[in-house]
Chains A and B, each alone.
Chain A
Amino acid sequence: MLKQTEGSHAVAESVALCRPQVICAYPITPQTHIVEGLGEMVKAGELVDCEFINVESEFAAMSVAIGASAAGVRTYTATSSQGLLFMAEAVYNAAGLGLPIVMTVGNRAIGAPINIWNDHSDSMSMRDAGWIQLYAETNQEALDLHIQAFRLAEELSCPVMVCMDGFILTHAYERVDVPTQDQVDAFLPPYEPRQILDPADPVSIGALVGPEAFTEVRYLAHHKQLRALGLIPQLAAEFRKEFGRNSGGLIRTYRTEDAETIVVALGSLNGTVQEVVDEMRGGGSRIGSVSICSFRPFPLAATREALQHAKRVVVLEKCLAVGLGGIVSDGVRKSLSGIVLNGYTVIAGLGGRAITRGSLKRLFQDAERDELEQVTFLDLNADVISYELERESKSRRTGPTAEAILRRIGTVASGIG
């Protein structure tokens, strides 16, 4: 059924349709509306056979999820930013134990400095924890990915993180098509655990594993994600057949067939990128874009196939490997191993800075002329940087950096762009 609704609410409806049995919630901007929506559904009796637990921290949230999932029930939670870090130990634990928990990450920057706006630094911090990571481009895709995620998680016994841009998607009203309960039931059968805490058949879960077996256990986790490379497109194809639309999969290409310049990005940014691609194609540029949906496992083969014939690749990242440059770029570069082309990393949108068509067009045109640095920070205010560096070189007691910069750029009223 078509609805015009907030992204968070679309996800709440989707998760509810997946018949979760335990939901644990701890509030953090910008995911709160998701768990609030689910909590309301449980309290109102719309979502039945589901326990909704208000926990005392994100660490508790993931821990409660671990207990519930190990006891054999379909489990869900959501978090963002600082919350994801706070549960980091448990995030690794869930993957290591092979528990098919599904979690929404409402992508938000990580402090310090504290920032509530969107970027990908949070989910990127957990990229090697062993969770499958899927990025949604639109609220429709966010809705759809949760349905696929439970299926994927349960088939592989591997937790799945569905990432959606905080505010940009979570708080945006958009048209979505919400499937029926029957449709979801047909796609997502009841959870059949590989392991379960059950007095009728006792098992011990969570043993200490020493050097004699640890590598093998870790290899099997890696192998699981390699299997996901096949399962993810399979589920997306099945989803397309049952629900009638393209959602998920490893990557999506846009006008890349004859492209000389290809832009790579994750999440909602791809919408704006495609608009600019169309505009520049109209002007004669041979440009296209690739949206990576499955970031873990990283789709090396699919990415290589999409990019190998281009002259240059621009990876637009909403995250930063401090001291190195790009994170997504690493995966892209790896996929192009042995192929020579110009690769550019562009760090954009950190802490929620708007990424505009205008800036992107100028950027892509610079790329076409190969006039880009290896690593570029889009729309960086060079004046502020040089002023701050000079100030720091002149004295020792310079005070907190962030506050100094804020003072320099003036009061923050409604800056539009």
Chain B
Amino acid sequence: MFQIRIHGRGGQGVVSGAEMLSVAAFLEGRYAQAFPSFGSERMGAPVMAFCRIDDKEIRLREPVLEPDALIVQDQTLLHQVDLFNGLPPRGYILLNSTKSIDELGLGGFARGVQQYRLCTLPASELALKHVGRPVPNAALLGGFAAITGVITLASVLAAIRQKFPAAVAEKNVAAATEAFELAVKTKETIDA
């Protein structure tokens, strides 16, 4: 089973991101579960969503306590919420930021004992560029496909097309594709 935890703020598409991720896995014939950590509808509050992917039926219902991958949609959460709780060694961290890992003060994590596989992506900027709104979820999924290889880009794009109406979907597809290409370059570095 591969477990993903997505952190962000209300309004950033954290929940839809997890849902699309589960749809992508489903399209590859796998079982997937996605659910939010819930709160009343409120923009700006920290939110989390979870996704599990497996080749057999998923029975577990607890929140993702030991994520194999973290997706952080909002860098301002870095020092507010205990984001890395439960991440195992070599766990993936995909961060939405234009800054480098060192600029974010995370150099220690990347080079430390845990050997987290950290990757930053300017997902909000990509979204602004292609979609016109800084909702980074689709781009981050493209990045996720690249650095973890757990799902293919094609599945991500198909999931995006299922989720959004045609015109908006294609813009998100473009953002996700560019994110994928950017992330592919990082993958080799972090896998080493």
Interface string of A166-188 (1 = CB under 8 A from B): 01100111110000000000000
| Contact assessment for B59 and A272 in the assembled complex, using a CB-CB cutoff below 8 Å | yes
Which of A94-102, A197-205, A349-357 lies at the interface? A349-357
- Do A268 and B61 form a contact, CB below 8 Å, given A173-B23, A352-B38, A416-B48? yes
| Contact assessment for A414 and B47 in the assembled complex, using a CB-CB cutoff below 8 Å | yes
Interface string of B37-76 (1 = CB under 8 A from A): 1101000001110000000001111110100000000000
11 A-B contacts, Cβ less than 8 Å apart?
A168-B35, A171-B36, A173-B19, A173-B34, A272-B61, A354-B62, A356-B62, A357-B60, A414-B77, A414-B81, A417-B62
- How far apart are the CA atoms of A357 and B58 in the complex, in Å? 14
A269 lies within 8 A of chain B by Cβ: yes
| Contact assessment for B33 and A167 in the assembled complex, using a CB-CB cutoff below 8 Å | no
A316 to chain B, nearest CB (A): 13
| Contact assessment for A413 and B46 in the assembled complex, using a CB-CB cutoff below 8 Å | yes
A117 lies within 8 A of chain B by Cβ: yes
B18 lies within 8 A of chain A by Cβ: yes
| Contact assessment for A116 and B38 in the assembled complex, using a CB-CB cutoff below 8 Å | yes
Q: Which residue of A lies closest to B86 (CB)?
A: A416
Interface string of A271-303 (1 = CB under 8 A from B): 110110000000000000000000000000000
Q: Which residue of A lies closest to B34 (CB)?
A: A173
B161 to chain A, nearest CB (A): 14
Q: Which residue of A lies closest to B51 (CB)?
A: A173
Q: Which residue of A lies closest to B23 (CB)?
A: A4
- Most chain A beta carbons < 10 A, residue from B19, B26, B61, B85: B61
Q: Which residue of A lies closest to B48 (CB)?
A: A414
Name B26's contact: one of A4, A116, A269, A416 (CB within 8 Å).
A4
> Contacts of A6 on B, CB cut-off 8 Å?
19
B7 to chain A, nearest CB (A): 7
Name A4's contact: one of B22, B35, B40, B80 (CB within 8 Å).
B22
Q: Which residue of A lies closest to B50 (CB)?
A: A172
| Contact assessment for B36 and A167 in the assembled complex, using a CB-CB cutoff below 8 Å | yes
- How far apart are the CA atoms of A6 and B19 in the complex, in Å? 8
- Most chain B beta carbons < 10 A, residue from A167, A270, A271: A271
> Contacts of B31 on A, CB cut-off 8 Å?
175
| Contact assessment for B81 and A173 in the assembled complex, using a CB-CB cutoff below 8 Å | no
Q: Contacts A174-B22, A275-B60, A356-B63 given; 14 further ones with Cβ under 8 A?
A: A2-B26, A4-B22, A4-B23, A6-B19, A116-B40, A168-B35, A168-B61, A172-B34, A174-B32, A269-B61, A272-B59, A354-B62, A414-B47, A416-B65
Name B38's contact: one of A167, A173, A413 (CB within 8 Å).
A167
- Most chain B beta carbons < 10 A, residue from A167, A358, A414: A414
Q: Which residue of A lies closest to B62 (CB)?
A: A356
> Contacts of B23 on A, CB cut-off 8 Å?
4, 173
